[in-house]
Amino acid sequence: MVRLTEQPSRYDDLEKKTVDELIRNINTENKIVALAIEKVLPEIGKLISAIERQLKNGGRMFYLGCGSGGRLAVLDVIELPNTYGIEKGIINVILAGGVQNLVFALEEKEDDEIEGWHSLQKENISPKDIVIGISASGITPFVLAALKKCRENGIPCGSIVNNPDSLISQYSDFPIEVITGPEFVTGSTRMKCGTAQKMIFDMISTTVLIRLGRVEGNRMVNARLINNKVVDRSVRMLMERNPQITDYEFVKEVIKKCGNVKKSEQYLKEQGWLSSGEFS
């Protein structure tokens, strides 16, 4: 297998370059990422549709990874319950070494061929669920071994890798190979590969949750009231969606009582206030 992610950088003598030269060249490389993703949008769409089907039928999604890709997946998943109001446990991450050890970057765990599958078994993984393996190289043992077990047990899998014709892709029902080429610092896949993975995670989680009804118009109507900023945003959102309501403090009380915009609108409808225009 050709491992483009390990090929020498297009740039050399980096230590001799100025700050301006370094950041200009890094930015030039970053421009490659979106164009590489554009080439695999059909494959991303197929994976998202498969995730949507599984979740609508009561299944769960699991990212499975290590290194930079696995840690970026954790960051994606931890924001979803607050942003979209979904229950924890619907979209998950199996991280080599455990999510609880995120900050320790246990890179040696990527060679563990047992932990990934064992961690999935602890979550009672089944064919109702879907697993997405993440690996810049496309050969990470932690991911590859777990995907093999998933296939043996009829569990649908997707994958996100950064090398062509990878082993991991061969064990994936919905493979995505986003080819970003050699890194600016040779082999440092936290750079373009990590950027590509983060962009794809954003596409997956955002699109799936829109499709599952967690967004209306372009607004996060199910966002949880985690701080004053979100409370204010939610109040103004509800007032914009229902211009007959002009009492900010009244709406704020309703929002805090109900928990989000969607539930607040339902409450106001049940009380007849939206149709009557009387809110005191």
Decide if 79 is catalytic.
yes
| Active-site option among 29, 52, 110, 115 | 110
d(CA 75, CA 134): 14
d(CA 21, CA 25): 6
| Active-site option among 21, 79, 152, 253 | 79
Residue-wise over 24-59: b if at least 16 C-beta within 10 A, else e?
Answer: ebeeebeeebeebbeebeebbeebbebbbebbeeeb
Task: Give the residue from 182, 180, 68, 36 showing the smallest Cα distance to 135.
Answer: 68
Are 184 and 13 a contacting pair, CB within 8 Å?
no
d(CA 66, CA 94): 8
Residue-wise over 232-256: b if at least 16 C-beta within 10 A, else e?
Answer: ebbbebbbeebeebeeeebbbebbe
Decide if 249 is catalytic.
no
Tell how far CA 18 is from the center of its chain: 35
Catalytic residues: 79, 110
